[in-house]
A and B are shown apart, each in its own frame.
Chain A
Amino acid sequence: MPGSTANQGFSFALAGDAPCSWAVTEQLLASQVETKSVGFDTDSARVAANNMVKISKSNASAIGFLSYDTVEFNRGTPTDLSVYNGVLLNPGYYLIGGEAQVITTSAGNNTSKYFSGGIQGAVGFVASDIAASGYSLTVEGTFSNTNGPAPWPNTAVGASAVVQATTPNTHIRFAPGGSTIDSYLYVQMWAFQIGDL
């Protein structure tokens, strides 16, 4: 019976082992080291390329419900543009964000933007009212292009947060909304995985 090292359990021959088994032990050691090395190769790739995703929509006609139509890049984080209309997070810590750029055509715009999704321990912001929820996150930015003289400049609103996803397919969505006649120039949302839980 070969010996094994204290930390990794790597095999080595003992003097009392039959000499004809030494080669087998050496083969076993090589195999064990190879298995360990493959794990590091996998981890190296994981660390060097954190999961991240960005989806967007350009030139939507009018502010209201917005369907994303473009996955600009996606590395390891699924998207679902047909049902959830957003991003599906795997468990982990994330920096998420979103921004809506709006072509402004009048004064008095008053548009709210918000994220929603199932993220543990987060908080819901709904307009001026805040409701805490254990399984939803809504962060919101607002803009108002009020009382200024024409021409009214294009404007943008965005929000970001560090969040925790605890279950697979935790979905988040940056959902701009509001009541205005203006149109979207570009709406984007992204998620960058900070690390594992």
Chain B
Amino acid sequence: MRYTTTENYPAPDTFDFADAPSDLFALASGVDAKFPGWDAIFAASTKQKTFRVRSTVDSAAITPLNVGFLKTPVTIDFDNTGGMLSTSGTLWSQQRVAGDGPSWWYFGGLFLVLEASAPTIGKPVGVNLAINDTNTDTNASITTNIYGDSPASNTSGEFVAFQGIVKCYGTASGIPTFNNGNTVNYVVKAGSMFWGTRLGGA
């Protein structure tokens, strides 16, 4: 038997008519064994992992210089990542996909926050998505913050967008928090949401 140089597929070395069936079987089996791995890779590559979480009710009033959260219940608009919400409802835990190594993720979100009375124009309101993880090489804890802010305007409410790319090692978890830097109460409106999508292996 001889073997092809690149993929190591078997082929007859010298022609022996009696060996032809077994030679063909070896070749077919060699190719057959190679393809399932490719099938799995291609199937995964066209189905990137992604999720989105959205609140369905307004939060309670968040007083000046304090933080608030998406009010539960929240709903998962879509998810094929294997991630999960905590029982309290707003902490998203991103499990590492089985067999996967560290990966780059794109996380982001959009909050609509509404003031209770005339805000101080220009004073900020913002969102911080803190993502906690453990470096599997060093066992060091990592916190990566993604910020977004929007100085208060004279509009009715502010949209606060935040987004960033984070390297996730293991079971990363994150929860977006609203930071009220203004002088009046705010609520985080229903419909505020955050999302994540796996960009690829790190």
Query: Which A residues contact B (CB, under 8 angstroms)?
Result: 3, 5-8, 10-15, 17, 19, 22, 25-26, 29, 33, 36, 40, 43-44, 46-47, 93, 95, 108, 110, 112, 121-125, 127-128, 130, 132, 139-144, 146-147, 158-164, 194-197
Contacts and interface: CB of A to CB of B under 8 A. Distances in A.
A47 B42 contact: yes
B155 A125 contact: no
Contacts of B195: 161-162
A146 B51 CA distance: 36
A161 B110 contact: yes
B52 to A, nearest CB: 6
Contacts, number: 146
A95 B165 CA distance: 14
Contacts of B3: none
B20 A46 contact: no
Contacts of B189: 130
B15 interface: no
B153 interface: yes
A162 B197 contact: yes
A29 B122 CA distance: 71
A124 B159 CA distance: 13
Contacts of A26: 24
Given A29-B24, A160-B108, A164-B77, A130 B46 contact: no
A124 B110 CA distance: 12
B-side interface mostly: mixed
A176 B17 CA distance: 75
Interface stretch (B31-39, B94-102, B124-132): B31-39
A17 B21 contact: yes
B134 interface: no
Contacts of A162: 50, 52, 108, 195-197
A112 B155 CA distance: 9
A85 to B, nearest CB: 22
A160 B42 CA distance: 28
Interface residues of B, number: 49
Contacts of B56: 132
Contact of B78 (A6, A128, A164): A164
A163 B163 CA distance: 15
Contacts of B17: 19
B167 interface: no
B159 A194 contact: no
11 contacts: A5-B29, A10-B31, A12-B27, A19-B20, A26-B24, A29-B27, A128-B155, A142-B159, A146-B121, A158-B161, A194-B48
B110 A122 contact: no
B106 A95 contact: yes
Interface string B138-163: 00000000000000011111110101
B191 A132 contact: yes
Contacts of A93: 48, 50, 78, 197
A141 B159 contact: yes
Contacts of A194: 48, 50, 197
Contact of A128 (B20, B31, B156): B156
